[in-house]
Every structure is written in structure tokens, then in C-alpha cells.
Amino acid sequence: MSSISVVATKPYDGQKPGTSGLRKKVKVFTQQNYTENFVQCILDANDTALQGSLIVVGGDGRYYCKEAAELIIRMCAANGVAKLLVGQNGILSTPAVSSLIRHNKALGGIVLTASHNPGGPENDFGIKFNCENGGPAPDAVTNNIYQLSTAIKEYKIANSLDIDISKIGINKYDINGKTFVVEVIDSVGNYVTHMKEIFDFEKLREFVSGKATGNPLKMRIDSLNGVTGSYVREIFLNALGAAESCVVHTTPLPDFGGLHPDPNLTYAKDLVHAVAQGDYDIGAAFDGDGDRNMIIGHRAFFVTPSDSLAVIANNLECIPYFRKNGIQGFARSMPTASAVDLVGKKLGKEVFEVPTGWKYFGNLMDAGRLCLCGEESFGTGSNHIREKDGIWAVLAWLSVMQNTGKGIEDILKDHWATYGRNYFTRYDYEECELDPCNEMIATMEKNITDPSFVGKSFTSGGKTYQVKIADNFSYTDPVDNSVATKQGLRIVFEDGSRIVIRLSGTGSSGATVRLYIDSYEKDNVLGQASDMLKPLIDIALEISQLPKFTGRNAPTVIT
Ligand code: VG1
Ligand code: CO
């Protein structure tokens, strides 16, 4: 029998979950009682529902993941949880956690990841709570967790519990006369089964392995040493018959082998470089926890996430899941270019624009109004779970390629010929000083929300844009009427072009400024995004005075 200790503690400042959970340096999480405090607040936020509940626990395998998983097991035991499903060695991708919560009707899941942020003792760790629908906790829940963290006095823990999460199996403990179960599960099995229910694996296997044609698909999948490595091997090598040479960096490492596990043109440059040589038809990469994806075509033809969403929306019929369950509405985050809106319009579907962060899609999915959504930050997913899903997105793209018989570039060009093109770029200015950035946003908000701003014209590079709408985006959830304010400054021009600027909510220190630019062209669809958007970028830098406030003349990352 294990006993429960009640340990006195004091609040830490700043345990406020951001866009997707609490993310801090490992050194912050490993301070005395820091992780304990936050976990206790997550458990307390569930109130009486916690007693006798089932919770899923797992993370992306980054540094401190296993220790945190073991700590959570001890604390759940002491707080009245009846059963935990824990990934072997504490490893589960974020989409896999979401899938497990839903399939097992769990109360929720605790996800251990800082997602696309670098890992290792000097870098980031994170903890996120997902609710019973499998999605990231909505604002009301995270605000409650934060409030609890400001007043916490004690936490409960069963210190003497003998835990080994390296072996798959069921472990039972007696906690004050009650049974507490820890089931250690294979990290990949359930997720792979789920993907096989969604996609036509037989067709995909023929296509990928080249069994019928003798022509295997030339594919390069890069897991960037993140959690997807084990999932990729099982799905692409074992289930779809791809050759070993089609996958790289598939060993999940605590520090991602020094790679920055963010699948974009800057941090996945190895992949981009390899595919640019012309030997592959598709390249893909994922982030640390497996919810993001980047897709590139032959010679590294780049698919913007906004376009990726629109193309998948336009081809849903080739995926058995959608043939079976039907096609409901589509959605995108506000900064995401509106390519999917045009597909929604043509198909007669509802299209929603929500704030940044996957948590805003959940209610719409639960209400049966949304089946496909995405974010410009390399997030794509459907209502099969309540998280974005990187591997799902690649399987969706393979299905589109298989079904159309076309390469990625041709698929995009056909799409633009039908719908026109939304040129899009995002500039990230990482690790800026926080105070001047806050001041920049405050100043800009004041300027653009002055009534005289609407109607103003700005000229650059021979193009003139007239302001139609300027605000700090706010969103009312159509399902529960909850309101999210101050979600990003937005200037919409008469021709539909937009400038959006906001501060990141996933960094662990300082500030990251994100500047998003998009512009629609009906006919001129084959230009270079950087050329097409240059005038608007200059206007954005002028209005925001970004170089003055941040001291930066160039972004850290351009997407
Ligand atoms: C970023 C992205 C956002 C995404 C979030 C979590 O947030 O912009 O679209 O949902 O990361 O993704 P922010 O606040 O830094 O802009 V993940 O894969 O890091 O959980
Ligand atoms: Co992620």
C-alpha cells in the first residue's frame, strides 16, 4: 500500500498557459515544486470529475519528459484518479494523445511537450491539458488553472509508488485501500489503427511501394528527431512499404539531436536542400510533438499551409473517412490566408475564422459544423481528433496525389487556375525584448483603431492599398458564445489584402513578433510570393514601426 503525502508549497508567478499550454525553459520547470504546482492546478481544475477518472499521459520524448510523466503518475495516484494510460517511456505524439482520449472516453490528457521549440537541458519543456473531447483546454479552463496557480498552498503525491514505464503492461497499486491502475501502452499502435480506418491503405501501399507500377514513390520524410520517428517507421515503412531511404531522423531524441523541430523552410533546411536536387516527388517534415507538417513537392516546390488546407478541402472525396462521415464546414485561424474560404464557397459549406490556436476549433467540431481546418503555422487536421495532425496531413496529400495522378506542383497550379491564388508570407522576429514589443502593439493598436484610419491609402512599389477594416481581432464562439479578445492586429484593405501582426503565445522567454501578409490574385497566379508581397511588407513595416521598436532589420524566419 502506498501512502499519500501532502506537501506545502508557494505559488510561482507566470504559470499562465499560452496559445497551447505552459512552455518554459527546462530550468524553470525543474525548480523546486514548479512542475508539481502546475500539475496540481490542472488536477484541481477538474474538480470532482477527477475522482475515479481515466487520464492519458504522454509527450514528445524531449528532455525531462520521462521524469515529468513519472511525477504526474504519482500525483494522479494521490489525487483520486483511478487509471492512467501512459505511453511507453512517456512517449505519445500530440495527435496520438487526442486519439486515445477520444477512443477511451478519458477525462482528458496531460501532454508533455513544447512542440516546435528546441529541447534539451538548456531549452524548452511544456505541459498542456487536453479535455475529454481530445482537444486543448479552452480559455475558461486554462484561465482557471492559472488562477489556481496564483493561490496554491499544497500538492498531493504518492512518493513511494514503484513505477516503471519502460515496459508495456498493466500495473495495479493500492492507494489507501483503492486500486490505482497504470497501463503502459505501445506509443504507436492505436494511432496507426486509427489512420488505417481513415485512409485507404491498400491503395496508398500500391502507390507508395510501386507494387503495381514498378515505380515506387520518391519520398523523403523527415521527423527532425521528434516523436513522429516511431510513427513514421510503422506507417510509411511497414504499412505502406516505402524503402528505408525514404525516411530520415526517425530516432526521437531528448534534444532532437540539436535540430530545431519546426517544419518550415528555415529549420527543415536539410530536407528542403535534399528535395531541391530533384530526386524526390514529395518531401515532408513534422515538429517535435507531431502535430505540424510541411509539404514540399518535386524540386522543393513549397506548399503554403494555407494552400495545403484548400487543396485537401477540394479533394476530400478521395479519403474514405469523408466519404463515410460526410463533409461539414471548414475553418482556419485568422492569420491564415483565405484560400479555403473559396473552396467552401464553391462547395456550399460554412467557413469559420477563429483566433490562433487549435483550441478554438474544438467546439465547432463537437457541434458537427466543422470537419477540416488549418493554420498557417503548418497545422492541418480534421475532426478525426481534436488536434492538428502532421502524419494525417501527409497521408491526405498522398491520397490526393494517388487519386489525381498528378504531382504536387501541378495540383497547386490546377487549384490556382480554378480559384485564384492567395499569396502569403509570414515574418517571425524571434527572441525580441518584450517591453518594446508590447509598446509597439499598443501604439499600433491606438493608431489603427482611430476612426480616421479607415479609408486611408498607402502606396508602395507602385501599388496603392486603401484601408477597409482595422481592428484587434476578437472572436465570439458560435457554439457557446464565449468571447476571445485581442487576438491580433488586423488591417484589411479594399482589395482583400491583409496585414496581421501579433505576439507569439508559445515562446518561453522574451517576445516573438509574427507579421503575416496575404494578398489575393485572380489571374496572376504564377508569381513569386516575395515579389508579389513586397509592397505590403513595406507598408506593414512602416505602419508598425517594427524596425524602430525591435531593433531588427530582418526577420529570423520567413515562411
Ligand atoms: C503558434 C502558431 C499557432 C499554433 C501554436 C501551437 O502559436 O502560430 O498557429 O497553434 O503555435 O502549435 P503562437 O502563439 O506562437 O503564434 V504547436 O505545434 O507549437 O503546439
Ligand atoms: Co506541435
Q: In this structure, which residues have their CB less than 5 angstroms from ion ligand 2?
A: 115, 287, 289, 291-292
pLDDT < 50 regions, the chain: none
pLDDT at 1: 65
Please tell me the distance between residue 336's alpha carbon and the centre of ligand 2 in angstroms: 17
Distances (CA, A) of 155 to 5, 23, 148, 332, 526: 8, 21, 12, 39, 59
For residue 115 and ligand 1, the question of a CB distance below 6 A is answered with yes
> Which residue's CA is the nearest one to ligand 1's atom 2?
377
| Residue 227: DSSP 8-state | T
For 376-435, where are the E strands, in sequence order? 379-382, 421-432
DSSP secondary structure string for all residues of 101-147: HHHTT-SEEEEE--TTS--STTSEEEEEEE-TTSSBPPHHHHHHHHH
pLDDT at 71: 96
Cell of 329: 464546414
pLDDT at 212: 72
Q: Among this protein's residues, is 115 annotated catalytic?
A: yes
For residue 19 and ligand 1, the question of a CB distance below 6 A is answered with yes
- Among 366, 372, 353, smallest CA distance to 474 is for 353
For residue 360 and ligand 1, the question of a CB distance below 6 A is answered with no
| Residue 12: DSSP 8-state | P
- Alpha helices by DSSP H, 240-358: 269-276, 305-314, 320-325, 339-347
